[in-house]
Amino acid sequence: MRAVTRLLAGTHLTGGNRGRLAIAALALSVLARLLWMLLSPNGINVVDLHVYVNGAHELGTGHLYDFTYADKTPDFPLPFTYPPFAAIVFYPLHWLPFTAVAVGWTLLTAAALYAVVRICLTMLVGERAQTESWRTAAVAWTAVGLWLEPVRTTLDYGQVNVFLVLAAILAAYSSLWWLSGLLVGAAAGIKLTPAVTGLYFLTQRRWASAVWAAAVFAGTVGVSLLISPAETRTYFGPLIGDANRIGPVGSVWNQSLRGALSRILGRDAGAPWYLHGHRIPEGPWWLGGIAVVAVLAVFAWRAVGSDDRLGTLLVVQLFGLMVSPISWSHHWVWLLPLILWLLYGPLRAVRGARLLAGYWLVTMLIGVPWVLSFAQPSIWTIPRPAVLAWLGAVDVIGVLVLFGWLIRAGRGRAVTPTDRPADLSREPAAHPAG
């Protein structure tokens, strides 16, 4: 792990040959993805991109949320599960040849991943990120990132995750309150989960960005009401709390807290239950788990410190992934920025940082949920052997250990344990709200 870290950190990537090697590795990675997509029998199996394009075509017909795509997923016809504003954004894609859309989507996803890595490194090492060695490191990490399971499956499905991660990181990095709010509000309008970034604004006391993000999100709802009022009311009415419509909660692909608990218990941990004849809509194990994770996240956030914007953002995003009813394995793109933060961030010298980074790197390169999926007879079957159930909690266990490590590391953190500030990127500009 130390040798890999030194290589990717740029310690040995100072010459032009090293830079060309990194660029070649990235180019080959992207080329391999494209060749797989274009030449293999099931290559263009970007099922979610099919849903985006074909589902958006139903916008305004009254059947947007009746649409399903089952050509490649006969056991689970995939519905359009995003807000109507997402259909508005994706709608123009149905005028283009789908192969061109798929290829362009893949290339843009790789470019967005590179931007994510570059911004993260800039926040961690400051102006040094512009040097040749660190630019090479960014290229190398992007090449590695393309083969980590969250990104790998994002490319397989034609998912939108990397773009949403980029929007949130840009919002944290930007010194412009209106741009930060615009990015988060628009991202939440496309998919609700980026709204958790609003908590980041609150932890940073970026009140103007938080208010503007909420206003932009409300604007996306307003535009949706103007274009398709019935479908907007349907989404924000009966559909918004229906986790089972999104997919099977107990599938190993669901790496949220609810998914892990469901597989361990052998039943949906979030299913309604009754107490003295009163129906409680959410399961006790899941509610209790959310409370525990919330407490740990608060203490982890306090341990990180508000001066570390990337670290704070990661705590918020991991909390969101944990408490969401469904967090598919491809939603965990945030683990790549986490690895960078652990290796190059202000707590990199704390004992256990490299071990945690190695844990995430190995489990994602292997793709534990992907491996376990072969032992899953059906995505709808929750009971499974205990060993497989606990192995399927790989991401949840990792986050709990990470939060515990942060809390312990923060006990004696009166001063950042490095010789530099926690965040070396430019400081946010003053906000109108103070």
Please report, as a single letter, which amino acid is at residue 245: R
What is the β-pairing status of strands 273-275 and 278-280? antiparallel
CB 5 within 8 A of CB 144: no
- Predicted confidence at residue 428, as pLDDT, reads 44
Q: Cα–Cα distance between 208 and 434 in angstroms, integer? A: 8
Q: Cα–Cα distance between 147 and 28 in angstroms, integer? A: 12
Please report, as a single letter, which amino acid is at residue 188: A
Q: Cα–Cα distance between 39 and 248 in angstroms, integer? A: 31
**Running along the chain, 434 residues long, what does each successive block of 10 average in pLDDT?**
52 63 89 83 80 91 89 82 95 93 94 97 92 92 95 94 97 95 97 95 95 97 95 90 78 95 91 74 86 96 91 97 95 97 95 96 95 88 88 96 94 52 54 40
**Structure token pair of residue 80:** 């359009």
Query: Angle of helix 2-9 relative to helix 353-366, nearest 10 degrees?
Result: 90
For 59-81, what is each residue's pLDDT tens digit? 988 889 999 888 877 778 889 99
Q: Which helix (H) or strand (E) holds 299?
A: helix 284-304
Q: 3-state DSSP helix/strand/coil percent for the chain, to nearest 5?
A: 65, 5, 30
Please report, as a single letter, which amino acid is at residue 264: I
List residues bridging with 328 in a β-sheet: 254
The alpha carbon of 200 is separated from its chain's Cα centroid by a whole number of angstroms, namely 15
List residues bridging with 369 in a β-sheet: none
- Predicted confidence at residue 129, as pLDDT, reads 87
- Predicted confidence at residue 283, as pLDDT, reads 81
For 324-361, what is each residue's pLDDT tens digit? 999 999 999 999 999 999 999 999 999 999 999 999 99
At 76, give phi and psi (nearest 5°). Answer: -150, 90
Q: Cα–Cα distance between 243 and 252 in angstroms, integer? A: 15
